[in-house]
Amino acid sequence: PPSAVILTPPPPPPPLSLPVSAPSTQIPPRLHGRPRAGHPARLRLPRRGLRLPGRPRGGARLLRPRPRRESPPSSLLRLCLSGLASSPHAHVHFWCLQSLHDALLRRRIALPDDLALLRSSLLSLASASNAASPPFLRNKLAQLVALLVRLDYPHVYPSYFLDLLPPSPPQSGPTDMFARVLISLDDDLLSQDYPRNADETADACRVKDAMRAQCVPQIARHWHDAAATLGAADPPTAAVALDAARRCISWIDVALVANDVFVPLLFDIALSPASAAPLAAAAVGCLSAVAAKRMDARAKVALLRSLLSAQQGLGSPDSGLKMASLVTTYAVEALACYRKLGPSDADGAAALEMLEEVLPAVFSAAESCYEEDVDSGSVLEFLAGYVSTMKAPSEKQLGHLGRILEVVRQQMTYDPVYRVHLDVLDKIGKEEEDMMAEQRKDLVALFRNICRVAPAATQQFIKGLIVTALSSAEATVEDVEVTLTLLYRLGEAVSEEEIRTGSGLLGELVPMLLSARFSCHSHRLVALVYLETVTRYIKFMQENVQYVPHLLAAFLDERGIHHQNSHVSRRAGYLFMKAVKLLKAKLVPYLDTILQVFPCPFFRYTHHLVYCARSEAVLFVS
């Protein structure tokens, strides 16, 4: 209406602005310290900062970071369970499970109601697990269930395994999930292959004791049914079930697996050509765990006898190829029983008989040590232990020693792939040479033990190798190198007196060595090991001076200082100086030959001095 009072808003406050001065050419004032002369005082800002108009005084405190408020464990639990139930993405499921695992491990989920809800939810997920779900999800779920078992079993919730145990006949999904739970429990708690603290050891003992008293027989029956039912229908699931069985055999009653029903099934799976490789390997692992079960020596002999009766062909070479870990474990355990009981005991003698019965399979496994499923370290450890038990080997044992020598030769042989690299000695060749030197340490120790037990058989074996290498024009670099290396190691195992007199077959081996000219002598490896081996048997020439010309020829022709490889030539000069110091006067009749053959640059660079006395000749090299 016209009489109304019209309210007009107050004019807005003028905008904040700083005075702008005219541009100046003077030096600007310093921001800190006292102002310079001729400049206005510096602008002092309040320590709390500028406060905008219309803002309350306490508004500045709103900009400060607030302390983080952690959500209660119940809300975290429900959030993760909701994500597991509603999200279609596998990665969301994984991180929900991971969050629950971390919260449970840190005991943030500790209320009985929360734990009961988590337990029921996880058991439902595990029971309804689908074999088609990603493996990383099944592993994470199994890890979380295994952690719950450690915390709650059996005092809080005693029926974990009975709830998880798949019904018969086993199906792929539940069987796979149950096996993964056992594997996770073994990795995280039960296995003794990892260091454990006191709390973990106590928890492991509690879980094992409760499982033995409650459900181990039912679990073992499930393993058998899974292997028999799913072996052809779903080999990966059957392999996982047998892998879980292998892990548990060490602490359950071995009779639940080592019986007339389970063992023949495992042998059938391991030897059947139709079995998938992972399934066959899992069956062999179970049998190996049975053979390695800890028990009294006499009970172990009975167990080994039952395994041998269940598979008559266990000692065949074919078994060594297909079941390498089993035959190696079997031989190791039989040897341990023989050592404990002794040869005079009936069970000890039976253990030795069973050992010798499976030795052909062990040799077959040892000769295939380049296979991935063969543990060469275990094989060599057994062979070394077997040789150490021999005092006066019989004819049969001498045959076994010949097979062991062949295994040593094969394991000491270079791979032909690196032949060129080893000749020029580039980076790859140097690495291969260093690796082979490390690998040969245990093999050389085994070879020395065989030389000590059966020197004649060892010399005969090396003689056969040399004859073969000399008679064959197609002898490879690797075969010749390992033959000369074994001859060199033989010189380390025998005494100096035996070398000087040429006892045994050394009287034949050394002349064969001195006159040898191999077709691959131009290779660096062969030339170097040949000269080293000749130097090892130098003392043989002290008693057999008729071979001195052959010795000089080996050092002075193209096999020695005239070799095309400069490394070989320099090494030949050094080794020849050692020969001169040792033989001395026996080289005097050949001084003219030496001086004619030696090249002048060799004298210039190695500083040789030849001195001949009146009464006796001395060759001195400095």
CATH number at residue 513: 1.25.10.10
Q: Is the domain of 413 the same as that of 370?
A: no
Instruction: Dump strand ranges (E) for 439-576.
Output: none
Position 369 scores a pLDDT of 59
Q: Is the domain of 460 the same as that of 337?
A: no
What three-state secondary structure class fits 280? helix
Q: Is the domain of 476 the same as that of 593?
A: yes
Residues contacting residue 381 through CB under 8 Å, at least 6 positions apart = 332
Q: Which of 374, 389, 410 is the last residue of a domain?
A: 374
Q: Is the domain of 335 the same as that of 234?
A: no
Residue 394 domain-assigned (yes or no):
no
Residue 79 domain-assigned (yes or no):
no
Is pLDDT of 27 > 50?
Answer: no
Residue 600 domain-assigned (yes or no):
yes
Residue 26 domain-assigned (yes or no):
no
Alpha carbons 210 and 93: distance in angstroms, whole number: 31
Q: Which of 273, 304, 324 is the last residue of a domain?
A: 273
Q: Is the domain of 357 the same as that of 413?
A: no
Q: Which of 273, 303, 322 is the last residue of a domain?
A: 273
Q: Is the domain of 264 the same as that of 300?
A: no
Is pLDDT of 60 > 50?
Answer: no
Q: Is the domain of 523 the same as that of 590?
A: yes
Q: Is the domain of 333 the same as that of 410?
A: no
Count of residues in the chain: 622
Alpha carbons 522 and 423: distance in angstroms, whole number: 9
Alpha carbons 370 and 318: distance in angstroms, whole number: 16
How many domains are contained in the chain? 3
In SS3 terms, 177-199 reads as HHHHHHHHHHHHHHCCCCCCCHH
What three-state secondary structure class fits 169? coil
Q: CB neighbours (10 Å) of residue 515? A: 12
Alpha carbons 446 and 381: distance in angstroms, whole number: 9
Residue 478 domain-assigned (yes or no):
yes
Q: Is the domain of 335 the same as that of 437?
A: no
Residue 551 domain-assigned (yes or no):
yes
Indicate whether this model's pTM tops 0.85.
Answer: no
Residues contacting residue 324 through CB under 8 Å, at least 6 positions apart = 365, 368, 371, 373, 374, 375, 379
pLDDT, tens digit, for every residue of 171-195?
Answer: 999 999 999 999 999 999 999 888 8
Alpha carbons 165 and 185: distance in angstroms, whole number: 15
Q: Is the domain of 106 the same as that of 211?
A: yes
Q: Is the domain of 202 the same as that of 263?
A: yes
Residue 338 domain-assigned (yes or no):
yes
Is pLDDT of 24 > 70?
Answer: no
Is pLDDT of 14 > 70?
Answer: no
Which helix H or strand E contains 359, and what residues bound it? helix 346-367
CB 523 within 8 A of CB 559: no
Burial of 602 (0-12, 13-18, 19+ CB in 10 A): middle
Residue 391 domain-assigned (yes or no):
no
pLDDT, tens digit, for every residue of 282-328?
Answer: 999 999 999 999 999 999 999 999 999 888 788 888 888 889 889 99
Q: Is the domain of 269 the same as that of 305?
A: no
Q: What is the average pLDDT value for the chain, to the nearest integer? A: 84
Is pLDDT of 43 > 50?
Answer: no
Domain hosting residue 256, numbered range: 87-273
List the structure tokens of 255: 């009779």
Residue predicted with more confidence, 376 or 233: 233
Position 18 scores a pLDDT of 33
List the structure tokens of 512: 């064969």
List the structure tokens of 22: 């005219």
List the structure tokens of 206: 């509690």
